Copies of this chain bind each other. A is one copy, B any other.
Amino acid sequence: MRTIKSLDIQDARTLIAGARQKAAEIGVPMCIAITDEGGNLVAFERMDGGKVTSITIAIDKSFTASGAKKATHEYGTASQPGAPAYGIAAAIGGRLMVVGGGLPVIFEEEVIGGIGVSSGTPDQDRAVAQAGIDAFLAAVAI
- Measured between alpha carbons, how far is A3 from B6 in the docked complex, in Å? 6
Does A38 sit within 8 A of B, measured CB to CB? yes
Return 14 A-B CB contacts under 8 Å, by A number: A1-B6, A1-B112, A9-B47, A37-B38, A41-B55, A52-B66, A52-B68, A53-B96, A54-B68, A56-B91, A79-B87, A80-B82, A87-B89, A92-B94
- Which among A43, A60, A94 has the greatest number of chain B C-beta atoms within 10 A? A94
In the complex, the answer to whether B37 meets A46 with C-beta atoms within 8 Å is no
CB distance from A75 to the nearest CB of B (A): 8
- Measured between alpha carbons, how far is A76 from B78 in the docked complex, in Å? 13
A56-90 vs B, CB cutoff 8 Å, 1 = contact: the mask equals 11001001101111000001100111101111111
Contacts beyond the supplied A3-B5, A80-B82, A80-B86: 12 A-B pairs with Cβ under 8 Å: A4-B5, A4-B6, A42-B45, A44-B44, A53-B63, A53-B92, A76-B86, A76-B87, A89-B89, A89-B90, A90-B94, A91-B99
Interface size, chain A (Cβ < 8 Å) = 67
In the complex, the answer to whether B122 meets A85 with C-beta atoms within 8 Å is yes
> Do most interface residues of chain A lie in helix, strand or loop, or is the interface mixed?
mixed
